[in-house]
Amino acid sequence: MVIGFLLIITIGTFLLSLPFSSATGERIPFLNALFTATSATCVTGLTVVDSGTAFSLFGQIVMIVLVQVGGIGFMTMATIIALALNKRISLRERLILQEALNHGTIDGVVRLVKKVIMYSVLVELAGALLLGIHFFFSLHLPLGKAAYFGVFHSVSMFNNAGFDLMGTVNGPFSGMAPFVNDPFINIVMMVLIFLGGIGFIVLSDLIEFPSARKISLHSKVVLTATACLIVIGTVVIFVMEFSNPNTLKPLHAGGKFLASLFQSVTTRSGGVATLDVGSLRQSTQFMLILLMFAGAAPGSTGGGIKITTFVLLLGAVHAMMRGRPDVILFRKRIAKDVVYKAITLTLLSLLLIILFSMLLSVTEHQDFLTILFESTSAFGTTGLSMGMTTHLSPLGKVWIVCLMFFGRIGPLTLIYALSRERKKDLYNYPEGQIIIG
For the stretch 55-94, pLDDT in tens is: 999 999 999 999 999 888 766 776 777 767 777 777 777 7
Provide DSSP, 349-413. Answer: HHHHHHHHHHHHHHH--S-HHHHHHHHHHHHTT----SS-GGG--HHHHHHHHHHHHHHHH-HHH
Residue 420 is predicted with a pLDDT of: 59
Would 429 be classed as within a structural domain?
A: no
12 contacts 41 by C-beta, under 8 angstroms? yes
Would 434 be classed as within a structural domain?
A: no
Which of 33-37, 210-214, 313-317 is least confident? 210-214
Q: Work out the average pLDDT over 120-141.
A: 95
Would 128 be classed as within a structural domain?
A: yes
Would 212 be classed as within a structural domain?
A: yes
* % of the chain with per-residue pLDDT over 70: 95
Helix 57-72 to helix 74-84 angle, to the nearest 10 degrees?
90
Would 430 be classed as within a structural domain?
A: no
Tell me the three state secondary structure of residue 332: strand
Is the model's pLDDT at 103 over the cut of 90? Answer: no
Residue 252 is predicted with a pLDDT of: 94
Is the model's pLDDT at 270 over the cut of 70? Answer: yes
Q: Work out the average pLDDT over 136-151.
A: 95
Would 437 be classed as within a structural domain?
A: no
Statement: the pTM of the whole predicted model exceeds 0.85: yes
Q: How confident is the model at residue 336 (pLDDT cuts 50, 70, 90)?
A: very high
Which residues constitute the domain of residue 229? Answer: 2-416
Would 112 be classed as within a structural domain?
A: yes
Q: Give φ, ψ of 270 to 5 degrees.
A: -65, -45
Would 426 be classed as within a structural domain?
A: no
d(CA 385, CA 38): 16
Choose between 9 and 213: higher pLDDT: 9
Residue 75 is predicted with a pLDDT of: 64
Q: How confident is the model at residue 301 (pLDDT cuts 50, 70, 90)?
A: confident
Residue 4 is predicted with a pLDDT of: 84
Is the model's pLDDT at 283 over the cut of 90? Answer: yes
300 contacts 199 by C-beta, under 8 angstroms? yes
* CA-to-CA separations, 433 to 400, 430, 436, in angstroms, rounded: 41, 10, 10
d(CA 401, CA 378): 8
Alpha helices in 171-306 (DSSP H): 183-197, 200-212, 217-241, 253-266, 282-294
Q: How confident is the model at residue 329 (pLDDT cuts 50, 70, 90)?
A: very high
* % of the chain with per-residue pLDDT over 90: 72
Tell me the three state secondary structure of residue 216: coil
- Give CA 269 to chain center in angstroms: 4
d(CA 32, CA 9): 13
Is the model's pLDDT at 418 over the cut of 70? Answer: no
Task: Name the domain count of the chain.
Answer: 1
